[in-house]
Every structure is written in structure tokens, then in C-alpha cells.
């Protein structure tokens, strides 16, 4: 089964695989968000995070490669009476527009292999405006001992050194590593090892 087929199957049910509520870390960043501006939600799946961002008054572009997920995301946006732009793209090869977003959000997109992750992160940083906010959350390698969600390939998981290296020139970087109970739909449930980042893109950098 290809990665595309795996996710199409995962999103095929009537329920939302990760629930309808926003990711807890993203919602905790509410005070960091601008009052207005454009947001890119990367690999946003069934739209729970993109819809919440739109509820904060932001202009949201939600991208994902699963047409099934995008159909459910559009339904969720309608349910919440918000406008979100949804686009079906491969987040690894998409032509990320230069300096176009005030905020870029990546929550649990760890289906990316290391070479794919490098392409994705290069695109994300390119798309972020100078002084724009980057928000990332993912599982750490310790998640493999919990088995409550995420990939089985250790190389797909995030570490502090990895994040610090990829975004070393960003300012006001804050990284939180924690173990906590997570309950997001049927796909994330139980004790989890996660790492979360917020950082600001420096002026004059691509």
C-alpha cells in the first residue's frame, strides 16, 4: 500500500481520525498569533487545525494530498461557519510561494522521510514572511516505546537537535519536550512523547 493509499484508507471512515478539536499545542499558541494575516497549515488532513485558525480571524490555506481528508475538512469548515482555502498538494514537492505567510503551522506530519522532510521544511521556511511565526509539533523517538500514534520509523521522528539545526537562524526559539496523555480522535490516544517548537523567522532571510 502506498503512503497515499494508506492515508486515504485512514480518512475513509465517517469519524474524524484525529477528532475535530485543534491540537492542544496549537491552541496554546493563540496568544502568539497575529490579529490578522495569512496562515499556511501544512498536511492539515481533515482540517481541525486549519478551521480553528480561521476561527481566530486568520486567512488560512490548508494543504494536504488526500482528497478524502479535504472533503471532510470542507465539511468541518462549513460546520464551523468559517472560510478556509483548501488545496490538494504533495507537501514535499509543492512550489511554496516566497514570503507569503505570516504563520506556518506543521502538526504531526511525520510521514515524511528525512529527504522529504528536508524539502518540506525548506519550503515552509521559504513561504514564511520575515518576522513570521513558525509552529511545529511532532513525536520524539521515545514515542516508539509508547506506540500510541505516529510512524514506526525512528528516522521520521523529531529531536531537539534536528529542530535547532534546521531553524538555527530563527529567533525567539522555544522548544518543549514532554510526555503527556493525548486524546485526539482515534489516532492519537494515550501517553505520548512530543516535541513542540515556536520560532520567528529573521528579517531578510529566505
Domains in the chain: ranges and CATH: 3-200 (3.40.50.150)
Q: What predicted TM-score, i.e. pTM, was given to this entire model?
A: 0.94
Interval 98-117 mean pLDDT: 96
Distances (CA, A) of 70 to 5, 14, 21: 15, 13, 16
φ/ψ (deg, to 5) at 28: -70, -15
Banded model confidence at residue 4, pLDDT cuts 50, 70, 90? confident
Residue with cell 500514534: 149
Residue 206 has pLDDT above 60, yes or no: no
Interval 96-124 mean pLDDT: 96
- In this structure, the number of other CB atoms found within 10 A of the CB of residue 87 comes to 11
pLDDT of the residue at 85 = 98
42: three-class secondary structure by DSSP: strand
Strands, E, within the chain: which ranges? 38-42, 59-64, 85-88, 101-107, 128-139, 171-184, 188-200
Distances (CA, A) of 60 to 85, 87, 105, 121: 6, 11, 10, 19
- 8 Å CB contact between 160 and 136: no
Q: Find the range with the poorest average confidence among 96-100, 165-169, 190-194.
A: 190-194
* Mean confidence (pLDDT) of the chain: 93
- 8 Å CB contact between 109 and 138: yes
pLDDT tens profile 74-92: 999 999 999 999 999 999 9
Amino acid at each position: 500500500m502506498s503512503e497515499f493509499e494508506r492515508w486515504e484508507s485512514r480518512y475513509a471512515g465517517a469519524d474524524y481520525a484525529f477528532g475535530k478539536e485543534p491540537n492542544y499545542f496549537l491552541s496554546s499558541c493563540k496568544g502568539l498569533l497575529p490579529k490578522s494575516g495569512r496562515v499556511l497549515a501544512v498536511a492539515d488532513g481533515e482540517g481541525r487545525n486549519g478551521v480553528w485558525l480561521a476561527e481566530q480571524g486568520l486567512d488560512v490555506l490548508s494543504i494536504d494530498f488526500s482528497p478524502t481528508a479535504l472533503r471532510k475538512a470542507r465539511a468541518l469548515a462549513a460546520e464551523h461557519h468559517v472560510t478556509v482555502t483548501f488545496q490538494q498538494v504533495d507537501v514535499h514537492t509543492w512550489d511554496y510561494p516566497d514570503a507569503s505567510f505570516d504563520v506556518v503551522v506543521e502538526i504531526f506530519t511525520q510521514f515524511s522521510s528525512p529527504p522529504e522532510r528536508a524539502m518540506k521544511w525548506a519550503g515552509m521556511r521559504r513561504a514564511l514572511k520575515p518576522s513570521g511565526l513558525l509552529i511545529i509539533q511532532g513525536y520524539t523517538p521515545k514515542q516508539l516505546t509508547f506506540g500510541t500514534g505516529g510512524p514506526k520509523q525512528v528516522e521520521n521522528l523529531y529531536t531537539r537537535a534536528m529542530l535547532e539545526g534546521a531553524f538555527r537562524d530563527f529567533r525567539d526559539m522555544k522548544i518543549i519536550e514532554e510526555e503527556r496523555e493525548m486524546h485526539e480522535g482515534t489516532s492519537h490516544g494515550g501517553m505520548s512523547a512530543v516535541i513542540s517548537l515556536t520560532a520567528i523567522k529573521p528579517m531578510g532571510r529566505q
